[in-house]
Structure 1
C-alpha cells in the first residue's frame, strides 16, 4: 500500500513533480540579479507570480520542467520572481496580473504573456532561440 502526500491528492502520477525540480528554477534576488540574467542570455523568461495566486501554483511544476528543458547558460534562462516578496524592484514593463511571463531577447524586453498559457511561453522561447 502506498500513501499520497496531501499536496498530491487528486493528481495523477504524471502530475506529481519532485520538489527538487521546483527548487531548481532560479529565483530573482534583486534588481542587479535580474539585469544580469537578462543581459547575459539570448533569451530570458521571468515568471512573475504571487503566493496567493492559484493559477501560479498550478503552473509552477510545468514551468520548472520547462526550465529544465531550456536553461543553458548564456543562451536561455528561465527564472521566477514573487511580487509579494520582491515588489521593491519591480521595474518596467509593469505587471498587470499574475502569472505574467516577461520575455527578454538579447537584453531587451520582447513581450509579456499574462496568464497561465505555458504552451505559448514555450513556443515563444523556441521561436526566439531560432533567430540569429
Structure 2
C-alpha cells in the first residue's frame, strides 16, 4: 500500500507541515504528461523513505487544491517542494528523476543526523532489514533501475508486480501477521524471466536476492527458492525462454541452501570485470531448489557503482561505435 498522502484540504497540508519534520510535496495535474512519467519514481521514494511524523510524502493536485498551489506560487508541473520544519528548503521543477532522488535522499540523511537509514542508494545501516553488509567501497544502486522499463515473464498475477522486487521496504515474509502479497511467483512452471534497464551505466559488483517461501503445510504447495540463474548484460529487450537457450549468459550462478541467511537473502558476488558499463540486465531463473513447480522471489538489490547517465528510453548496445 502506498504511503503517499493525497492532500484534500489546505488545513490537512498545514497540519502535516507542523507534525512532520520533513514533508516532500509533489504538485501535479492529471493532464500533465511529465507528472505521470515521474510518478513511479516518487512512489518508490515514498515507499522507501516515509516514516511517521519524520518524513512524509504528499501529492497536491493543483486543480483541486488551488489555494495550496497559489500559496506556494506553483505555476509549472510537476513541481516538487521539500519542507523542513514547515519551511521550503528545496525546490525541483520538472520531471528530473536523478535530481529529485538526490535532493530527497540528502534531506533524509540530514533528518537521520547525517547517515541515511533508508537503504536507498546508500551504505548499509542498522535499520536495514537485511543482515548482510555491503561490500566495502560499493553502495546500493538499486535506485538506478528504470521502473517503467521493468518486464517479467511467467509471473502469477495473484502476487505483486515486478516493481516490488526492487523496493527496499521490509518484505511481508519477515513481518508478523502481514497479509500483503509483495513478492513474485512463477506461474505455469518454475522459470522466470526479468528485464531490468537502468537510468545510467553501472558497474555491478554484487547481487542480493531475497526469497521467503512459507513453511510447508498439508493443504498447499510451497514455492521454491531460485537455484540456477542465468544473467545477461546489455540486451536491448527481454529474452524469450526458448531464445535464452541459444544466447550465452554473461554469468551463471547456482545458489545453495547454505547461501540463504536469516532474512532469506543470498549475497552473490559477480565476475566484476564482466559487469562494467551495464545498461540492462536480464535474469533467467532456470530452476528452483526442490521438487516443486513454482519459484518465489521477494527482493533484488543491486550493489556496485554508478556511471554515466543515459537518456531514458534509448538503450544502446555497449561496444558499438556510432556511425559517422
State the TM-score, normalized to the length of structure 1.
0.75
Q: Which residue of 2 aligns with 1:117?
A: 96
User: Of residues 105, 114, 117 in structure 2, which corresponds to 1:126?
Assistant: 105
User: Of residues 80, 102, 122 in structure 1, which corresponds to 2:81?
Assistant: 102
User: Of residues 56, 59, 64 in structure 1, which corresponds to 2:43?
Assistant: 64
Higher relative contact order (CA 8 A, sep 6+): 1
Q: Which residue of 2 aligns with 1:15?
A: none
Could you report, residue by residue, the CA deviation over 1:50-92 in whole angstroms, capped at 9, with x for unpaired residues? 1111000111111111110111011101110111122133343
Work out whether residues 10 and 65 of structure 2, in 8 Å CA contact, stay in contact via their aligned partners in 1: no
Offset, 1:130: 2.9
Question: d(CA) in 1 for partners of 2:75 and 2:69?
Answer: 12
Q: Which runs of 4+ in 1 moved over 4 A?
A: none
Question: d(CA) in 1 for partners of 2:107 and 2:98?
Answer: 14
Q: More helix by proportion, 1 or 2?
A: 1
In structure 2, the CA distance between the partners of 1:62 and 1:56, relative to structure 1 (3 Å rule), is same
Unaligned runs of 5+ in 2: 114-324
Larger Rg: 2
Question: d(CA) in 1 for partners of 2:57 and 2:35?
Answer: 15
Q: More strand by proportion, 1 or 2?
A: 2
Q: Which residue of 2 aligns with 1:55?
A: 34
Offset, 1:118: 2.4
User: How many residues are treated as equivalent by the alignment?
Assistant: 111
Work out whether residues 43 and 125 of structure 1, in 8 Å CA contact, stay in contact via their aligned partners in 2: no
Offset, 1:129: 2.7
Bigger shift: residues 26-35 or 116-125: 116-125
SS in structure 2 of the partner of residue 90 of structure 1: helix
Matching of residue 32 in structure 1 with residue 11 in structure 2 = yes
Work out whether residues 49 and 99 of structure 1, in 8 Å CA contact, stay in contact via their aligned partners in 2: yes
Unaligned runs of 5+ in 1: 1-19
Question: d(CA) in 1 for partners of 2:21 and 2:96?
Answer: 22
Matching of residue 90 in structure 1 with residue 55 in structure 2 = no
The CA RMSD measured in Å over matched residues stands at: 1.7
In structure 2, the CA distance between the partners of 1:33 and 1:104, relative to structure 1 (3 Å rule), is same
SS in structure 1 of the partner of residue 44 of structure 2: helix
